[in-house]
Amino acid sequence: MRVLLTGGCGFIGANFVRHVLAQREDLELVNLDALTYAGNPANLADLADHPRYRFIKGDVADRVAAAEAVRGCQAVVHMAAESHVDRSIEGPAEFIRTNVVGTQVLLDAARDAGVSRFVLVSTDEVYGSLGPTGYFTETTPLAPSSPYSASKAAADLLALAYHHTFGFPAIVTRCSNNYGPYQFPEKLIPLFITNADANRPLPLYGDGRNVRDWIHVEDHVRGLLAVLDRGRPGEVYNIGGGNERTNLEITQTILAALGKPASLITFVADRLGHDRRYAIDATKTRGELGWRPTIDFKEGVAATVRWYLEHRTWWEEIKSGAYRDYYERMYGDRLRRAPADRT
């Protein structure tokens, strides 16, 4: 089967491509990616000539590019997106264009092409924020709070509406926070590993007690493939690791792995509208699809820290470019205003 993957040069996409080419001889991949700041050809450079892989540089919101890419494909895994909450607070427009309009354009192209499955990679952030107890299930009402999560909720609901209205074979996955190799160092775990390595401050938002439910990207990829293989059209599947940690706990784990001092922790002004807690109930996906996460959190984080230490050139190149302006905009004032020591 030939599968159109969108956003394959990003973090989860690169891991998806690597897994499929190594382990799924029955699948061919066409990767449509616009190569935004988050899309890095270096992530897949060694696979460029693989016989079951083809790369197309293009924008999912471009009708012609979307139609050309999906031609001859039997299924779609749509994960191209603007993905960083902080950037969505700084500028929501691109999130609406790619995540909402891009999804509608791709859905139309896939409908015209008559694909037999369309997996929309959504996020647990569409559910909004939890209090100290409870879990998101697939029937939890959507209550997104950031421009990012609102744009993902729109895409998620559009896919389900195409199933309801047109009988289009869309399936939605909602996964918790991923970590692992190739994650762009704007997200918590790779940002803190690479900052700590360079003895730079680790900017923890607010009181550092916000909770995320972490999953290794490889377990997410296996979940997506279970949904592609066996998921039912029109259904939603939660994917989560069952590893709830406060951001402070994550930070301490990273510092311990690198042998760096707690004095690097710097509490800074909170993210606007910051969701307090996410936690996934993946009972349906486990029961119906026989999927379960397999990577132990402690081992997964240790391996991820090692990966970043062994791939310095990869992230040093990213952090030396346009990223510097982003970092100054996002953290410059916050760090200058941070109270001296609140650890």
Show the site string, 55-94: x = touches ligand NAD by CB under 6 A, - = not.
Answer: ----xxx-----------------xxxxx-----------
What residue spans of the chain are helical by DSSP H? 11-23, 63-70, 85-90, 93-95, 102-113, 147-166, 188-197, 217-230, 247-258, 283-289, 297-310, 312-320, 323-327, 333-337
The one among 3, 13, 222, 266 contacting ligand NAD by CB under 6 A: 13
Residue of 103, 215, 222, 216 whose CA lies nearest to 168: 103
The one among 4, 29, 153, 204 contacting ligand TYD by CB under 6 A: 204
d(CA 238, CA 191): 26
Quick one: DSSP state of residue 256?
A: H
d(CA 231, CA 237): 8
Residue 175 interacting with ligand NAD (CB under 6 A): yes
290: left (phi over 0), alpha (psi -120 to 50) or beta: left
Residue of 106, 150, 115 whose CA lies nearest to 233: 115
- E strand or H helix that includes residue 97: none
Under rule CB under 6 A, which residues in 200-219 are in contact with ligand NAD? Answer: none
Q: Is 162 a catalytic residue?
A: no
Find which of ligand TYD, ligand NAD, none residue 162 binds, CB within 5 to 8 Å per kind: none
Residue 286 interacting with ligand TYD (CB under 6 A): no
Residue 145 interacting with ligand TYD (CB under 6 A): no
Q: Is 33 a catalytic residue?
A: no
Quick one: DSSP state of residue 263?
A: G
Report, in Å, the least distance between residue 143 CB and ligand TYD. Answer: 15
Residue 190 interacting with ligand TYD (CB under 6 A): no
Piece of 2-10, 27-35, 135-143, 205-213 that binds ligand TYD (CB under 6 A): 205-213
The one among 184, 267, 308, 331 contacting ligand NAD by CB under 6 A: 184
Residue 85 interacting with ligand TYD (CB under 6 A): yes
Find which of ligand TYD, ligand NAD, none residue 253 binds, CB within 5 to 8 Å per kind: none
Report, in Å, the least distance between residue 33 CB and ligand NAD. Answer: 5
